[in-house]
């Protein structure tokens, strides 16, 4: 579990830090450049959510097939996933090239930002199919348990991107592009190199062979159906959860700038803890998928419970350390005493929040790995809107508890989801869901 988790954590951390470094480097170029790229990245973020429709199912189907000893089927699933996301990426690239300017008009982007934002979107969006395939390859390699390889590639991509940004923003090495155009080209180039590296590693380190012409129509339909059966609900959950957070942010804005700032500071400081929990959840998905694929349901059930307890203790412990250091950490960002006081309260409440959230994330990924997708999504989406959104307004705005009320709503949402998902896991109904034809498998070793 640990061997799978820490490389995923480092890979995600690198992605987060690179986003911050991007913003920092662009801020020295111009504030307008920061805003323009930020606006374009909002669109690209939602596009990446759509690519996850295929990627989310890929990890689980491959893990189950490998657990069942079906390396050939795992390879077929990988091939179908690559083709689907490549075709989808090409379609999206075409739409962005043709309608990028129209999207910004719909968003009422200020005129001074539109040219740079359009330039960045047309270049990165025009080659977004590269990112679609790269994300799919990274998911496939992680499904084989080779999380260190994807971490090393992520590190290489970030170094190349950082060097490219430096060259185009500060005029080094005679770069042929500069400014926003150069940053966009740097992004595309680093992603392309990452894609090539992942293809090479996939071929060398696994049994994967790229032979899409050998796939029959029936095989493609079977694997695509299984991928979409998991991917569509998973992407839907991400979409509605993101929409709920936007709604809650609008409530927090009613509380004033200081409340919003306190929430942002507390959220950013606690991000490292949240990344570790997500990494644990992704590792859980790989391991549980292997056990379920091998029909070792007792082992899967027992390990699922162990992972939930371990994640809750680790998350609560790290959140407690952050809370104990909260005064120092927040003072690094601001000297406003009101904001510091509010953010400290939120970081102490985060001890309860993170322990509940960890259980929710582990369980929903464990259930998803077992093929139980729809019910957990219904639980998650219903809870976030009925509990988190509604209570945030009632407690935070209507009754005037401010950000403390909003965080109480967050805590209630996470613990209710964890309780309901735990009942679903304990019911063991997921054992009857068969994504890959497990009836032909007989409890072989999944590793």
Predicted confidence pLDDT, tens digits, the chain (447 residues): 888 888 988 988 887 776 667 666 776 677 677 777 777 777 787 787 778 778 888 989 999 999 888 888 888 899 899 989 999 999 989 988 887 777 777 666 677 777 888 888 888 889 999 999 999 999 999 999 899 999 999 999 988 988 888 888 776 555 555 678 888 888 899 999 999 999 999 988 887 776 666 667 767 888 888 888 888 888 888 888 878 887 888 888 888 888 888 887 888 788 878 888 889 999 999 999 999 999 999 999 999 999 999 999 999 999 999 999 999 988 887 888 998 999 999 999 999 999 999 999 999 999 999 999 999 999 999 999 999 999 999 999 999 999 999 999 999 999 999 999 999 999 999 998 888 776 655 555 666
Give residue 213's pLDDT: 66
CA nearest 350: which of 319, 328, 309? 319
Q: What is the pLDDT of residue 307?
A: 94
Q: Are 314 and 88 in contact (CB under 8 A)?
A: no
Residue 47 in tokens: 């596009």
* 167 and 131 Cβ atoms separated by less than 8 Å: no
- Residue 439 confidence (pLDDT): 60
Going by C-alpha positions, the residue among 165, 141, 5 that lies closest to residue 75 is 141
Residues 6 or more apart whose Cβ sits within 8 Å of residue 65: 71, 73, 74, 77, 293, 436
> Which two structure tokens, joined as six digits, stand for 215?
């796939």
CB 349 within 8 A of CB 395: no
Which residues lie closer than 8 Å to 421 by C-beta, 6 or more apart?
359, 360, 363, 364, 367, 376, 379
The rounded distance, in Å, linking the Cα atoms of 401 and 412 is 15
Domain boundaries, the chain: 2-215, 230-435
b/e code 414-438 from CB counts within 10 Å (16+ = b): bbbbbbbbbebbeeeebbeeebbeb
Give the Cα separation of 266 and 428 in Å (integer). Answer: 37
Which residues neighbour 317 within 8 Å (Cβ) at sequence distance 6 or greater? none
Burial letters 65-98, b for 16+ CB under 10 A, else e: bbbbbbeebbbbbbbbbbbbbbebbeebbeebee
Q: What is the pLDDT of residue 61?
A: 92
Give the Cα-Cα-Cα angle 8, 11, 16 (nearest 5 degrees).
Answer: 125
The per-residue b/e assignment along 290-310, b for 16 or more CB within 10 angstroms, e otherwise, is bbbbbbbbebbbebbeebbeb
The pLDDT value given to residue 445: 61
Residue among 210, 427, 118 at smallest CA distance from 301: 427
The three-point CA angle 194-200-206 to 5° equals 120
* 142/282 Cα distance (integer angstroms): 9
Cα gap 14→154, rounded to integer Å: 7
Give the Cα separation of 114 and 119 in Å (integer).
8
Alpha carbon distances (Å) from 123 to 96, 116, 191, 229: 9, 11, 13, 32
Q: What's the whole-model pTM score? A: 0.83
């Amino acid at each position: 579990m640990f061997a799978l988790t820490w490389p995923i954590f480092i890979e995600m951390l690198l992605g987060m830090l690179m986003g911050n470094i991007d913003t920092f480097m662009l801020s020295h170029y111009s504030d307008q450049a920061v805003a323009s790229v930020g606006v374009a990245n909002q669109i690209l973020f939602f596009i990446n959510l759509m690519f996850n429709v295929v990627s989310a199912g890929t990890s689980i189907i491959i893990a189950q097939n490998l657990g069942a000893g079906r390396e050939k089927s795992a390879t077929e699933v990988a091939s179908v996933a690559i083709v689907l996301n490549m075709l989808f990426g090409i379609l999206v690239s075409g739409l962005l090239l043709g309608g990028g300017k129209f999207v910004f008009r719909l968003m009422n982007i200020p005129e001074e930002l539109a040219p740079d934002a359009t330039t960045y979107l047309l270049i990165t969006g025009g080659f977004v199919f590269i990112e679609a395939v790269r994300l799919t390859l990274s998911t496939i390699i992680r499904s084989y348990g080779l999380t260190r390889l994807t971490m090393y590639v992520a590190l290489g991509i970030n170094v190349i991107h950082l060097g490219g940004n430096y060259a185009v923003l500060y005029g080094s090495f005679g770069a042929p592009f500069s400014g926003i155009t150069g940053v966009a080209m740097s992004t595309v180039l680093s992603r392309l190199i990452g894609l090539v590296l992942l293809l090479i590693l996939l071929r060398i380190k696994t049994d994967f062979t790229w032979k899409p012409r050998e796939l029959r129509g029936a095989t493609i339909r079977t694997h695509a159906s299984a991928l979409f059966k998991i991917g569509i609900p998973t992407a839907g959950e991400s979409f509605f959860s993101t929409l709920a957070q936007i709604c809650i942010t609008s409530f927090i804005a009613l509380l004033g700038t200081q409340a919003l700032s306190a929430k942002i500071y507390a959220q950013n400081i606690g991000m490292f803890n949240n990344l570790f929990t997500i990494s644990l959840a992704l590792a859980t998905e790989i391991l549980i998928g292997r056990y379920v694929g091998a029909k070792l349901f007792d082992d899967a059930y027992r390990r699922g419970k162990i992972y939930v307890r371990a994640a809750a203790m680790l998350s609560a412990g790290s959140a407690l350390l952050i809370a104990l250091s909260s005064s120092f950490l927040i003072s690094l960002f601001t000297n406003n005493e009101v904001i510091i006081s509010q953010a400290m309260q939120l970081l102490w409440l985060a001890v309860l929040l993170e322990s509940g959230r960890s259980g929710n994330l582990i369980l929903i990924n464990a259930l998803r790995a077992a093929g139980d997708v729809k019910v957990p999504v219904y639980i998650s989406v219903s809870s976030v809107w009925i509990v988190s959104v509604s209570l945030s307004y009632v407690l935070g705005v209507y009754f005037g508890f401010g950000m403390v009320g909003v965080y109480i709503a967050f805590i209630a949402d996470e613990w209710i989801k964890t309780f309901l998902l735990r009942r679903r896991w304990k019911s063991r109904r997921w054992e009857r869901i068969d994504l890959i034809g497990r009836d032909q498998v007989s409890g072989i070793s999944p590793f």
